[in-house]
Amino acid sequence: MSLIVVGSMAFDAIETPFGKSDKIIGGAATYIAWSASNFVKPIYQISVVGGDFPTDELNALANRGVELEGVQIKKDEKSFFWSGKYHLDMNSRDTLDTQLNVLANFQPTVPPSYQQAEFLMLGNLVPAVQLQVIKQLEKRPRLIVMDTMNFWMETAMDDLAEVLKHVDVLMVNDSEARQLSAEYSLVKAARSIMKMGPKYLVIKKGEHGALLFHDDQVFFAPALPLEDVFDPTGAGDTFAGGFIGHIAKTKDISFENMKTAIIVGSAMASFCVEKFGTTRLQEISKADIDQRIREFVQLVNFDIELG
């Protein structure tokens, strides 16, 4: 059940209506690894950080079962930095700053020990780098899942279109799906995006849940109504980690199992938002996760009799 995770490892500075964080550890691949490692180990991580990235953070991931041979450390450079500010509803945000730093010239190398992996999670990252990883794999993984964001649609659309041709599942949020397809209706957007390459499309709608599209089928999973949402950063990546973690654990890539994976992803994301950064993800146990998945089942379980 081997899983390669690719994506940014970063410093983030976050502003929410509840407060401001200093520079904290973030990055798509960081959240994905914390989330997916609840389901599969090792996680074969591919990323790049600068000399400023804390060794303690790398050690914590290694102790968690994350293999770091594919994470380059550029001693004399700075890590990727992202800063964002959430609106009052916490469902939308503005990017205040994106400093690529080490990401600007990142040339990923897939270590020989990562070859033959069955599953590939391409977290948010430079599309050309995502493609380089796919091209370096000797055997095509059974399932390639990809996340991206508006930043890359605006700065690297040609490369992004090329990667899309190689992936099975794309995950984007609703505004990104609209931007990518130039369609307002999410049903039309899904149809148009599935012509670009991916056969499956997940559209994340923040506190309003997520949709899974495939051919003419559609499945919806709600988000758990939470009393406190402190920081939505990384929720999408944590969702992705739960989704691919469940698929890699069960080795089942059917649409039916993807529905379960969406619920697992939603459960994981619900933890992520409860505290700043990866704090909550580092605290939770299998019992916590199981309990939350039960709450999801309760949330949507009802009987109906049609007369």
Q: What residues line the site for ligand AMP (CB under 6 A)?
A: 8, 10, 12, 26-28, 82, 98, 124-125, 149, 151, 233-237
Give 2 or 238: the residue with its C-beta nearer to ligand AMP: 238
Give 2 or 148: the residue with its C-beta nearer to ligand AMP: 148
Least distance between ligand AMP and beta carbon 251 (Å) = 25
Least distance between ligand AMP and beta carbon 142 (Å) = 24
Question: Rounded to 10 degrees, what is the CA torsion of 274, 280, 281, 282?
Answer: 180
Paired residues of 47 in beta bridges: 71
What is the maximal distance between C-alpha atoms in the chain?
A: 71
Give 2 or 43: the residue with its C-beta nearer to ligand AMP: 43
**H or E stretch at 200:** strand 200-204
Short-list 20, 27, 23, 32, CA closest to 49: 27
Q: Do residues 219 and 228 touch, judged by C-beta distance below 8 A?
A: no
Give 2 or 277: the residue with its C-beta nearer to ligand AMP: 277
Give 94 or 283: the residue with its C-beta nearer to ligand AMP: 94
Least distance between ligand AMP and beta carbon 301 (Å) = 28
Question: Rounded to 10 degrees, what is the CA torsion of 17, 20, 24, 26?
Answer: 20
Least distance between ligand AMP and beta carbon 175 (Å) = 11
Which residue type, as a one-letter code, is found at position 74?
K
- Residue 69: CA count within 13 A, CB half-sphere: 12
Least distance between ligand AMP and beta carbon 90 (Å) = 11
